[in-house]
Amino acid sequence: MNTPAPGKGVNKAVAIVSKPSKPELEHVVPELLDWLKKRGYRSVVDEETHRLAPNTTVVSRDELASHQLDFVIVLGGDGTLLSAARSVARAAVPVLGINLGSLGFLTEVQIEELYSTLEAIDRGARVVEDRSMVHCEIFRNSVCVGSYDALNDAVVGKGTIARLNHCDVYIDGTFVSSYKADSLMIATPTGSTAYSLAAGGPILMPTVAAFLVTPVSAHSLTHRALVVPDTSKIEIVVMTGAEQAYLSIDGQVGMPLLDGDRILCRKSEHTVKLLRVQKTFFDILRSKLKWGQR
């Protein structure tokens, strides 16, 4: 959807989140802070960025949603953006991803395009694209012991190297199948170009109202990725015996799982708002996947 430019008063505010291992940040961050200050923005930075901006207010990523922000600038790769996006989704703060990584499906703006992109955003030439998330609740003996929102995927993986993961899957209360695989994931359309793609799943346009149920290295050759409406309620029953499994959220956070645990997945009430300027989804696919050009 089209959105107006940030206000022209002194209340404009931006957060900068970065991946600290990138050497180019040594000059990018100070220059960016100066650019923002000259255009009337108040800036805050996350803890990882603070060493490069010692005189700037520091806010942990978990607390970003409590601040009045016009948008968040992510300097890094898709992993950095996933972390920031989960933190601010509940506050509906738009996120701009600047790619300092390699592939970068989500951090689509290249570093040399940083200031032209910010100029466009500042004058209102921007689009905010809503990306759906999957909400997962973990029940153990009928008690909810954890809940998470994922932008890419929720993955139930094996806890040891040697054994297969065993899960029963239900869709809207109806039994689907018993899966034996290295892992089983519930992926969003955004996540269809991440781990699910590597596991042989299809690519979904971000606007498709669906989730993917994708097994990884399934024991049965007939098990394939399953596309279900995002109105579905997906239940995964973990069957590990004496072993542990593990729930991974966007490959970054999660928790151990025990035999009999149930993971209930549904569409989250929150969305991630990605700031876009010009590129289409297919532009990104051609660029990142090296599809043939006309």
* CATH number of residue 122's parent domain: 3.40.50.10330
User: Is residue 146 located within the same domain as residue 45?
Assistant: no
Is 236 among the domain residues?
yes
User: Is residue 141 located within the same domain as residue 221?
Assistant: yes
User: Is residue 122 located within the same domain as residue 26?
Assistant: yes
Structural domain count of the chain: 2
Is 34 among the domain residues?
yes
> What is the per-residue pLDDT for 27?
93
Alpha-helix residue ranges (DSSP H) falling in 127-280: 195-198
Q: How far, in Å, CA of 34 to CA of 29, rounded? A: 9
> What is the per-residue pLDDT for 93?
96
> What is the per-residue pLDDT for 91?
96
> What is the per-residue pLDDT for 174?
98
Per-residue pLDDT of the chain (294 residues; tens, 9 = 90+): 544 444 444 579 999 999 878 888 999 999 999 999 999 999 999 999 999 998 899 999 999 999 999 999 999 999 999 999 999 999 999 999 999 866 678 888 889 999 999 999 998 878 899 999 999 999 999 999 999 999 999 999 976 655 678 899 999 999 999 999 999 999 999 999 999 999 999 999 999 999 999 999 888 878 899 999 999 999 999 998 878 899 999 999 999 999 999 999 999 999 999 998 767 888 888 877 878 766
Is 137 among the domain residues?
yes
Report whether 182 contacts 93 (CB < 8 A): no
Please spell the DSSP secondary structure of 163-203, one letter per residue: SPEEEEEEETTEEEEEEEESEEEEE-TGGGGTHHHHTTPPP
Is 93 among the domain residues?
yes
- Among this protein's residues, is 78 annotated catalytic? yes
Task: Indicate which residue of 78, 149, 153, 250 is catalytic.
Answer: 78
By residue count, the chain amounts to: 294
User: Is residue 106 located within the same domain as residue 188?
Assistant: no
User: Is residue 179 located within the same domain as residue 217?
Assistant: yes
Report whether 189 contacts 205 (CB < 8 A): yes
The angle that helices 114-122 and 25-38 make with each other, rounded to 10 degrees, is 20
Is 294 among the domain residues?
no
> What is the per-residue pLDDT for 158?
79
> What is the per-residue pLDDT for 173?
97
Is 153 among the domain residues?
yes
User: Is residue 101 located within the same domain as residue 193?
Assistant: no
User: Is residue 169 located within the same domain as residue 284?
Assistant: no
Is 110 among the domain residues?
yes
User: Is residue 111 located within the same domain as residue 156?
Assistant: no
User: Is residue 152 located within the same domain as residue 113?
Assistant: no
User: Is residue 284 located within the same domain as residue 251?
Assistant: no
Compute the CA torsion angle 4, 6, 8, 13 (nearest 10 deg): 170
Q: Which residues contact 109 (CB under 8 A, 6 or more apart)?
A: 96, 97, 98, 99, 117, 277
Is 158 among the domain residues?
yes
> What is the per-residue pLDDT for 282?
83
Quote the domain boundaries for residue 22: 13-126+277-288
User: Is residue 265 located within the same domain as residue 139?
Assistant: yes
| CATH at residue 221 | 2.60.200.30
User: Is residue 56 located within the same domain as residue 85?
Assistant: yes
